[in-house]
Chains A and B, each alone.
Chain A
Amino acid sequence: MDIDFTADERAFREEVRAWLRDHLPSEFAARIAQGKRLSKEHQVQWMRTLNRQGWLAPGWPVEFGGTGWTDVQKHIFDEECFAAGAPKVSSFGLKMVAPVIMKFGTDEQKAHFLPRILTCDDWWCQGYSEPGAGSDLSSLKTRAVRDGDHYVVNGQKTWTTLAHFADWMFCLVRTDPEARQQRGISFLLIDMQTPGITVRPIITLDGEHEVNEVFFDNVRVPVANLVGEENQGWTCAKYLLTHERTSIGGIAHNKALLNRLKQIASEERRDGRPLIDDPLFRVQIAEVEMQLIAAEISSLRTLAAVRDGGVPGAESSFLKIRGTEIRQAITWLISKAVGPYAMPFIEDELGYGTEPLLYTDYSSAATYQYLDARKASIYGGANEIQKNIIAKMILEL
Chain B
Amino acid sequence: MDFKLTEEQLMLQETAGRLVRDVYGFEQREQYRQSTHGFSVPFMQQLGDLGLCAVPFAEAYGGYAGSGVDNMLIMTELGRGLCLEPYLHSVIFAGGLIAQLGSEAQKARLLPQVADASLQLAVAVDEPQGHYQLHDVQTLAEPVDGGWKLNGRKSVIIGGQSAGLILVSARTSEGARDENGISLFLLDPQACGVQRRVFDTVDGRKACDLFLEDVFVASAALLGEPGQALPALRYQQGRAIAAQCAEAIGSMEAACALTLDYLKTRQQFGQPIGKFQALQHRMVDMRIELDQAASMTLYAACVTDQADSDERRRVLAAAKFIVSRASRFVADQGIQLHGGIGLTWEYMLSHHAKHLLMVARQFGDDDHHLQAYAKLMPAA
Interface residues of A, Cβ cutoff 8 Å to B: 1-6, 9, 72, 259-260, 262-263, 266, 276, 279, 282-283, 285-287, 289-291, 293-295, 297-298, 300-301, 304-305, 308, 318, 321-322, 384, 387-388, 390-391, 394-397
Contact = CB atoms under 8 A, between A and B. Distances in A.
Contacts of B280: 387-388, 391, 395, 397
Specify which of A295, A301, A391 lies most central, judged by the most chain B CB atoms within 10 Å of its CB.
A391
A295 B291 CA distance: 9
A4 B312 CA distance: 13
B318 A294 contact: yes
Contacts of A391: 277, 280-281, 283-284
Nearest to A266: B380
B298 to A, nearest CB: 6
A295 B296 CA distance: 9
Interface stretch (B3-11, B215-223, B327-335): B3-11
A298 B263 CA distance: 26
Contacts of B284: 387, 390-391, 395
B380 A286 contact: no
Given A285-B374, A290-B318, A395-B280, 11 more contacts: A1-B301, A260-B380, A282-B377, A290-B373, A293-B296, A297-B295, A388-B280, A391-B284, A394-B287, A395-B283, A396-B264
A322 B291 CA distance: 11
Contact of B296 (A4, A286, A297, A387): A297
B303 interface: yes
A289 B317 CA distance: 12
B275 A397 contact: yes
A289 B321 CA distance: 12
Specify which of B3, B285, B318 lies most central, judged by the most chain A CB atoms within 10 Å of its CB.
B3
Main secondary structure of the interface of A (DSSP, over half): helix
A304 B3 contact: yes
A262 B379 CA distance: 7
Q: Size band of the B side of the interface? A: 35 or more
B344 interface: no
Contacts of B302: 1-4
B69 interface: yes
A318 B79 CA distance: 24
B234 to A, nearest CB: 19
Contacts of B260: 395, 397
A397 B283 contact: yes
Main secondary structure of the interface of B (DSSP, over half): helix
A283 B370 contact: yes
B122 interface: no
A1 B5 CA distance: 6
B264 A397 contact: yes
Contacts of B371: 283
A5 B1 CA distance: 5
A2 B374 CA distance: 26
Contacts of B6: 1
A2 B1 contact: yes
A6 B1 CA distance: 6
Which are the 9 A-B pairs with shortest beta-carbon distances?
A262-B380, A297-B295, A391-B280, A286-B374, A3-B302, A294-B292, A290-B318, A397-B274, A263-B380
B306 to A, nearest CB: 10
A295 B292 contact: yes
B299 interface: yes
A72 to B, nearest CB: 5
B242 to A, nearest CB: 13
B9 A294 contact: no
Contacts of A1: 2-6, 9, 67, 69, 298, 301-302
B253 to A, nearest CB: 13
Contacts of B275: 397
Specify which of A285, A290, A304 lies most central, judged by the most chain B CB atoms within 10 Å of its CB.
A290
Given A262-B379, A286-B373, A395-B260, A4 B1 contact: yes
B60 interface: no
Contact of B299 (A263, A276, A293, A397): A293
Given A298-B292, A391-B281, A304 B380 contact: no
A382 to B, nearest CB: 12
B55 to A, nearest CB: 15
